[in-house]
Homo-oligomer: A and B are copies of this chain.
Amino acid sequence: MNLWFTEEQTDSLRLSFKVKKVLDYRKSKYQTLAVYETEQYGRLFTLDNFVMLTEKDEFVYHEMISHVALSCHPSPENILVIGGGDGGTIREIERHSRVKKITLVEIDEEVVNISKQHLPFVACGFNDKRVKVIIEDGIKYIKEHKNEYDIIVIDSTDPVAFAEGLFHTEFYQYVFDALKEDGIMVAQTEYPFLKSDFFKQIYTSLKKVFPIVSPYFAFIPTYPTGMWSFAFASKKYHYLKDLNPNFISEFENELKYYSTEIHRGAFAIPPFLKKIIQ
């Protein structure tokens, strides 16, 4: 069999994975969902034919979207995750015994369902008693919560369709207001190598709202360009000055990508990107 899944990363760039088996393909109210068994990267989960995660490299994304903020906050008790319905992000947050409560707000229940059925390596995140799952629009949810969370993680899909509103100044202001006075927000912010206009816009927006803002980067082989960016946006704690290696000491041997050394290195911004966000 010579079966391939192809992601059209842009109109002129495609990444193709050889597929052993199509495990699931379904439509929800919001999008099409699929899970493939691939030769190279194990299970592959897509939404509207865009790669969400693969079994072999998801650890990079989920460790980096979680542990960076958690390693800078002295008392991260109450965490909110917007999106992240596969469970990978909460799996990482749960490693921190300092965390008392995790609320996950996912708009599409089918993401949670398909993950529980086919992606046990991330869906295991739903087994923790500190987790509460709410199926609701993240924007609506965040508008109704003020001064409540220590850390908010925006684990969204790409900025298209219903997720587009998650990348604007107005939304960031709601996130700011939902955070406590020393809160931190982290968000995935796409691939700056090819989306430099978007990259500029998002950091301009964030700086209007938060006093401490920086992108950081990680190698994610199955995402476009392999260079993924995340935003660290904070009211009080600094991504380097407040980094405390003790906050991961109880489980650091279990981590595959994140370390204090990687944390520091991830905030090095290549000059061509520094220029864009200056």
Contacts and interface: CB of A to CB of B under 8 A. Distances in A.
Interface of A: 4, 6, 10-18, 38-40, 57, 59-60, 193-194, 217, 219-221, 224-227, 252, 255-259, 261-262, 264-272
17 contacts: A12-B18, A13-B15, A13-B18, A13-B40, A14-B14, A14-B16, A60-B270, A219-B219, A221-B225, A221-B227, A226-B227, A252-B271, A257-B272, A259-B268, A262-B270, A265-B267, A265-B268
Contacts of A271: 252, 255-259
Contacts of A10: 40
A269 B266 CA distance: 11
A39 B9 CA distance: 13
Contacts of A60: 270
With most chain B CB atoms within 10 A of its CB, the pick from A227, A257, A258, A262 is A227
Ranked nearest first, the 4 interchain pairs of A and B with the lowest CB-CB distance are A226-B226, A265-B265, A265-B268, A12-B18
Copies of chain A in the complex: 2
B270 A264 contact: no
A211 to B, nearest CB: 22
B13 A14 contact: no
A190 to B, nearest CB: 13
B264 A268 contact: yes
A226 B226 CA distance: 4
Nearest to A270: B257
Contacts of A18: 11-13
Given A219-B219, A221-B226, A259-B271, 11 more contacts: A4-B14, A6-B16, A12-B17, A193-B219, A194-B221, A221-B224, A221-B227, A256-B270, A259-B268, A262-B270, A265-B267
Identify the interface centre among A16, A38, A272: most chain B CB within 10 Å of its CB. A16
Most-contacted residue by chain B among A13, A17, A194, A264 (CB, 10 A): A13
